[in-house]
Amino acid sequence: MPDNRIETVPGGRRPRPGQEHFAAELDEGGLGAVDAVKVDDKPSSMWRDAWHDMRRRPMFWVSAVIILVVVIVAAFPGWFTDVHPRFDCELAKSLQGPEPGHPFGYDRQGCDIYSRTLYGARASVLVGVMATAMVVVIGTAMGSIAGYFSGWFDVILSRITDIFFAIPLVLAAIVIMSMSENRTSFTVALVLASFGWTSIARISRGTVMSVKNNEFVTAARSLGMGRGGILLKHVLPNSAAPIIVYATVALGTFIVAEATLSFLGIGLPPSVVSWGGDISAAQQSIRQAPQILFYPAAGLALTVLGFMMMGDVVRDALDPKARKR
């Protein structure tokens, strides 16, 4: 008996009697190559994408070179000069101009300005790095605890943060340092950190509050992980981006704060070579020898500029929405 069944094609249409139906193979359209997934490729992440974005920007390389040079000079100033900034001074050469081996000339005490500029980077960068590290630890701890546990923790810690936030950083540092007898790099950094952690605390609190409600936190909680473990292993790593951005900018701010205290005579003692102290000492001879002020001020400005530029680049890389705004 003849087969009277009529096949239908996709879409519900019936072919005419005697008409043959052809279906293309899936690979003929190239869909297999388009939809193919490379299993060997590393999974993308926020940090990889940020690094890919930063290295394509000229500002990143300019700021990186400035920071690298400043760090090397601060760590190893003896590589660039054989003249000691305090002991190799000749009063007979007071306020003299440049000469071979002394490209910046001499200050009022007959000390080499070039060597003092190089050695001054050590104190300023050291204070900035220590103050920033302390601020990140204190501010992140206060803000993350307040934002993650909420309740009374949030109320008490937020009010403490508001009290410290109302106190101006430089004014508080001036008052504390004027009463301090032991003025060292650690002391200055500790005083600056004691009143400079409030901004990071607020940033970390807001970021933790937005991260703690994500799905991966709920999944970790359902698997029986404790609240402390979730905070340390899941919430804080995913809240680090804005903290790193602020820390990069804050480092330059603390370097300026240290220079301000040394300029006022209540920061580092005169026995420690610093840019702020040299700028303060240059006031007496700025008309006769303006280079005494220019070189330490230029070193300070370039250092702060490098960290500020790096902070802008890191912010744009970790927060692409900031560029659209």
51 within domain boundaries:
no
Does residue 18 sit within a domain? no
Domain annotation covers residue 26: no
Would 12 be classed as within a structural domain? no
Is 120 contained in some domain? yes
Place of tokens 């810690």: 157
How many structural domains compose the chain? Answer: 1
In a domain, 21, yes or no: no
Sign of CA dihedral 316, 317, 323, 325: negative
Is residue 89 included in any domain, yes or no? yes
CATH of the domain at 319: 1.10.3720.10
pLDDT in tens, the chain (325 residues): 455 544 554 555 555 555 555 555 555 545 555 555 555 555 556 667 777 777 788 888 998 999 999 999 988 988 888 888 887 777 877 777 788 878 888 888 888 888 888 888 888 888 989 999 999 999 888 888 888 888 888 888 888 888 888 888 888 888 888 887 788 888 889 999 988 888 888 888 888 888 888 787 778 778 777 777 878 887 888 788 888 888 888 888 899 888 888 888 888 888 888 888 888 888 887 788 788 888 888 988 999 888 888 888 888 777 655 544 4
Domain that holds residue 158: 61-324
Q: Please state, as a whole number, how many other Cβ atoms lie within 10 Å of the Cβ of residue 67.
A: 20
Phi first, then psi: what are they for 283, rounded to 5°? -65, -35
For residue 170, tell me if it sits in a domain: yes
